[in-house]
């Protein structure tokens, strides 16, 4: 794995619960209303001391490099991935806590808990994910939520309306929480685009409810 990390940080005690923690959510989340019933909630720095959780995930998650067919070629997916389904144990207790806190915070509005966690590792600014909506499963027809916890270097999460129009963006990293809700997966697209700017590694953790991907 060609990732530049301060390896000395790995030598410090990176035990679960050692430094990273979740701050309370209530009242600290700011909602940005988009068009067509879509919205984005942002809570900067939700995970305090997020560097330790970031390093634990980089070290502990069995990251997978995937390949995909594009046109006539098979190409590397430009990021590493690991998906944790509903019955799988998450790789860190703080992620279990985060999933529970998010489920509690959004219980009334979402009406169901977050159940799965998709983890992505962007090794540098060349890693990316192209414009898309999470429209596999129920999110292709119904409103839902996708909650993203970002760790490590901040990258820009861009959003644009499917109907056309300007894109907007939020810098996400260092323990920030961003939640896409309402019709966002159907009526808007999101992306983390490549950047020529020097960029360190980032881990994204996406919590989704049952049958949303």
Ligand X SMILES: O=C(O)CCC(=O)C(=O)O
Binding-site ranges for ligand X (CB under 6 A): 118, 120, 129, 134, 148, 157, 190, 192, 204, 206
Residue with CB nearest ligand X? 204
Whichever of 127 and 143 has its CB closer to ligand X, that residue is: 127
From the CB of 15, what's the least distance to ligand X, in Å? 26
**Cα–Cα distance measured from residue 107 to residue 127, given in angstroms and rounded to the nearest whole number:** 33
Nearer to ligand X, 92 or 134 (CB): 134
Rounded to a whole number of angstroms, the minimum distance from the CB of residue 12 to ligand X is 26
| CA atoms of 48 and 18, how far apart (whole Å) | 11
Question: Rounded to an integer, what is the distance from CA 75 to the centroid of its chain?
Answer: 23
As measured in angstroms, the least distance from the Cβ of 123 to ligand X is 13
CB of 153 to ligand X, least distance (A): 12
How far is 27 from 173, CA to CA, in rounded Å? 21
* Nearer CB in complex with ligand X: 145/157: 157
Phi-psi region of 164 (alpha: psi -120 to 50; beta: other; left: phi over 0): left
From the CB of 11, what's the least distance to ligand X, in Å?
28
Q: Which is nearer to ligand X, 72 or 91 (CB)?
A: 91
Q: 56 or 190, CB closer to ligand X?
A: 190
């Amino acid at each position: 794995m060609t990732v530049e990390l301060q390896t000395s940080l790995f030598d410090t005690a990176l035990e679960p619960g050692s430094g990273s923690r979740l701050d309370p959510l209530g009242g600290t989340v700011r909602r940005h209303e988009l068009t067509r019933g879509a919205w984005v909630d942002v809570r900067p720095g939700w995970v305090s001391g997020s560097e330790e959780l970031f390093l634990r995930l980089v070290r502990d998650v069995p990251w997978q490099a995937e390949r995909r067919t594009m046109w006539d070629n098979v190409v590397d997916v430009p990021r590493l991935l690991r998906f944790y389904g509903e019955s799988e144990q998450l790789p860190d207790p703080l992620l279990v806590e985060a999933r529970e806190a998010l489920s509690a915070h959004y219980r009334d509005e979402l009406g169901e808990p977050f159940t799965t966690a998709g983890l992505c590792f962007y090794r540098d600014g060349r890693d990316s994910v192209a414009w898309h909506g999470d429209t596999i499963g129920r999110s292709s027809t119904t409103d839902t939520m996708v909650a993203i916890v970002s760790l490590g270097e901040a990258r820009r999460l861009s959003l644009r309306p499917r109907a056309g129009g300007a894109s907007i963006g939020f810098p996400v990293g260092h323990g920030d929480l961003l939640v896409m809700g309402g019709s966002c997966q159907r009526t808007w697209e999101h992306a983390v685009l490549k950047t020529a700017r020097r960029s360190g590694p980032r881990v994204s953790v996406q919590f989704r409810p049952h049958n949303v991907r």
